[in-house]
Amino acid sequence: MLQMFGGDYAELMQSLTPMKMLTCSSQPIEGVMTSGLAMFGANQSHMQVGTQTFTPYGALKAELMANGMLQTSLEQFTLLGGALMFNTQLAWSGMQLAGGVVQGIMGIPLGMVMGSANTGGQTSAEMIMAVPLNEAGNSGLMLGVHSWQLLGQRCGLKGALEWKYEEMDGEQSLSQTNVALACTRPSVQADGSPLAEPELTTSLSVAHKTAAKHSLLAALDWAPQKEGVMTLGGTRQLTDATRLRGKWNTTGVLALALEVAGDKSSLSFTTEWDTTRGEPNFGVTINLSP
């Protein structure tokens, strides 16, 4: 859930990552959704198809992967009048259970707390709180803390703080500014082995939107034993159906994306060029909703 902090910046970075991907979705009958996804890479590809139906107990999903793995889930199962919500997910290989995860979310005054656990022994706990700063409700602070463990051993801690201000004209948003600060302090490496000394990674991002059409973003990232990286980016609406997005950072990476949206489909062309190394990478993403 901490992904919501600095969400505009994270969404821009995701949209500027070159991918060769096709997605499609449809609603054959009321209350039932079907979807498909195909991703193509230089070394490997991934495909999956899925279906989702809504029941009185929550959203029931099933997804079949190209490698034969079946993933089933029940989401938004509520108890205590909606105060407590559960999401469960199980992965099957043949007739054997390959893994699973359960997540619980409970509302508290000014926010929520969340806990999750999986069959590999990984657990996590998280708390998010939102505090309004004025009576109009167009300015506020969000605070989040996330901790994760493996078999009872603490693996790391992440904290995030975000300030938001939105200029309104009645019910219409004229502009919005977000400033987010996030700090991550893992105590283990990616393979689970302990670090000799915990490392602190810090990220500061600023996003400003105008008239829900254009945006400017800037970010600074500091990693242990590395130079800080500054990223500048933004979005400009060219027409009602097209927009241009881009970024540049101090490591020499330049990325551009042209997005074209229709009533039930969208198309995105992306290129990323590391000016210090050589040839650019290209990607295209097609979304279809017949």
Whether 23 and 262 have beta carbons less than 8 Å apart is answered as: no
Confidence at residue 212, expressed as pLDDT on a 0 to 100 scale? 66
Calculate the CA dihedral of residues 42, 44, 45, 48 and round it to 10 degrees.
-160
pLDDT in tens, 221-260: 998 778 899 999 999 999 989 999 999 999 999 999 999 9
Asked whether the predicted pLDDT for residue 43 surpasses 80, the reply is no
The CA distances from residue 197 to 187, 188, 193, 200, 224, in Å, are 7, 9, 12, 10, 11
As a whole number, the mean pLDDT across the chain is 90
In a domain, residue 100? The reply is: no
Confidence grade of residue 2 (pLDDT, cut at 50, 70, 90): low
pTM score: 0.84
- The answer to whether residue 71 is domain-embedded is no
- Tally the domains of the chain: 1
Q: Which domain holds residue 26?
A: 2-55+121-288
Classify residue 73: in a domain, yes or no: no
Which neighbouring-strand residues pair with 161? 143, 181
Predicted confidence (pLDDT) per residue in 50-84, tens digit: 999 998 889 999 999 988 899 999 999 988 777 89
The full DSSP string for 253-290 is EEEEEEEEE-SSEEEEEEEEEETTT---EEEEEEEE--
- Report if residue 179 sits inside a domain: yes
Q: If you average pLDDT over residues 149-168, what whole number do you get?
A: 89
- The answer to whether position 222 is within a domain reads yes
Within a domain: 9 = yes
Q: Is residue 103 part of a domain?
A: no
Q: Which residue has the tokens 């300030």?
A: 163
Mean per-residue pLDDT, 23-44: 89
Q: Is residue 203, in this structure, part of any structural domain at all?
A: yes
Residue 196 pLDDT more than 80? Answer: no
